[in-house]
Structure 1
Amino acid sequence: MRNKIASLLLGLGLAGGAFLATTGSAQGHGYTDSPVSRQQLCGNGTVRGCGQIQWEPPSVEGPKGFPARGPADGHICSGGIGRFSELDDPRGGNWPAATLVAGESHTFVWRITARHATTDFRYYITRDGYDPTKPLTRADLDPQPFLTVPFGGRLPGSTVSHSGTLPQKSGRHLILGVWTVADTGNAFYACSDVRF
């Protein structure tokens, strides 16, 4: 009888652990809502066939230190997280793209579901000649962010908005938003497909 009870409790413990692993025991953290990110497009059902990211759009958390460190080339949009690899798939260059106007001010918006002390928010954009049919690499991006918003270790609210001037670009591009956490070794990554 004791063995049966022990087996039952062990089974329940394993089932509970499996449930937490599949539902994301990390409660999510944040993603860009403007311009709309790939994970947001998956989370709101605009894009189908997204795998697990559709249930965890705020969870694209990878090593910080981009571009010197961080996710490997080809795995930047997923933050290097294998279960979110659908975000790295360029889908033949057919991700829905937000329309932006080059040289104008844009308000960038992050939705934050778990607040972290923050170093900064940085925005990178693809170089002229970027091929949207291939996975994103560092070589595809201008080497310096076009906008950096220092946060000085403060906690963000549930929504973070800041404005910046968009670079002079034309055609299809990708904006990489990086939210760098101050008190862990990680950052959050969000890829937004855009058209100027």
Structure 2
Amino acid sequence: MPKRAGVTALGLGLVAGATLLGTPTASSHGYTDTPISRQKLCANKTVSNCGQIQWEPQSAEGPKGFPAAGPADGRICAAGNAQFAELDDQRGGTWPATRVNSGQSYSFRWQFTANHSTTDFKYYVTKNGWDPTKPLTRAALDPQPFLTVAYNGARPPMTTVHQGAMPSGKTGRHMVLAVWTVNDTAMAFYSCSDVQF
């Protein structure tokens, strides 16, 4: 009799464990791949020593409300997540950079593993003279986004392209910060792309 009770308890434990493992987590995830983001460079193995983000490039999720709220300065690219801190490491300004042209039309592309009701997408760029060897801060960014795409609660397609112009008056190395604000949660997704004008 005690043996049967032990087997039953073990069986219930396995069922409970399987149920917990199968519980879905956040249902919205995404990243930019044009211009290629740091998390996608890690997932592609173009850049090494990336830690956990290489297996889940879609998970740089943090509080929304940027720039008034959101991740702390120096932790913006990782969305404030310590487990993705490699995204905030400037690596001496050596992240691979996408070549772009100042003031010219560009197709900004997001890839989603799960889409979600969306408030908007905003794109920021670093100021002229920013230091590409230091982690990204609000002070390093132009204060206004150079492109805003409103969604008003709609769900974007699993591959989403926003057509816009790269900011004018930029030369040299910069960073584009893309922020996807989820409509029906307190969260947003952050994606940093190194670019060369």
- The TM-score, its normalising length taken from structure 1, stands at 0.90
Residue of structure 2 in register with 1:186 after alignment: 187
Which secondary structure state, in structure 2, belongs to the residue aligned with residue 113 of structure 1? strand
| Distance in 2 separating the partners of 1:157 and 1:139 | 33
Which secondary structure state, in structure 1, belongs to the residue aligned with residue 145 of structure 2? coil
Residue of structure 1 in register with 2:128 after alignment: 128
- Matched to 1:187, the amino acid is A
Note the alpha carbon deviations across 1:62-104, whole angstroms, 9 max, x for none: 1000000000111100011111111011111110000001111
| Distance in 2 separating the partners of 1:153 and 1:82 | 29
Going from structure 1 to structure 2, the CA distance change for 1:186 and 1:28 (only over 3 Å counts) comes to: closer
Q: Which runs of 5+ in 1 are unaligned?
A: none
Judge conservation of contact 1:125–1:146 (CA < 8 Å) in 2. yes
Q: Which runs of 5+ in 2 are unaligned?
A: none
Going from structure 1 to structure 2, the CA distance change for 1:70 and 1:5 (only over 3 Å counts) comes to: same
Give the drift of 1:113.
1.2
Residue of structure 2 in register with 1:6 after alignment: 9
Note the alpha carbon deviations across 1:119-158, whole angstroms, 9 max, x for none: 1110000011111111111111011001101111111101
- Matched to 1:173, the amino acid is H
Which secondary structure state, in structure 1, belongs to the residue aligned with residue 68 of structure 2? coil
Count of residue pairs brought into register by the alignment:
193
- Matched to 2:29, the amino acid is H
| Distance in 1 separating the partners of 2:27 and 2:148 | 26
Give the drift of 1:20.
7.3
* 1:1-196 matches, cutoff 5 A: 1=3, 2-3=5-6, 6=9, 10=13, 25-26=25-26, 29-167=29-167, 168-196=169-197
Judge conservation of contact 2:27–2:115 (CA < 8 Å) in 1. no
Whichever of the two has the greater Rg, that structure is 2
Which secondary structure state, in structure 2, belongs to the residue aligned with residue 184 of structure 1? coil
Going from structure 1 to structure 2, the CA distance change for 1:92 and 1:11 (only over 3 Å counts) comes to: farther
Going from structure 1 to structure 2, the CA distance change for 1:184 and 1:25 (only over 3 Å counts) comes to: closer
Report sequence identity in percent: 58
- Matched to 1:95, the amino acid is W
| Distance in 1 separating the partners of 2:126 and 2:195 | 10
Judge conservation of contact 1:28–1:57 (CA < 8 Å) in 2. no
Going from structure 1 to structure 2, the CA distance change for 1:157 and 1:46 (only over 3 Å counts) comes to: same
| Distance in 1 separating the partners of 2:11 and 2:130 | 56
- Matched to 1:29, the amino acid is H
Going from structure 1 to structure 2, the CA distance change for 1:11 and 1:49 (only over 3 Å counts) comes to: farther
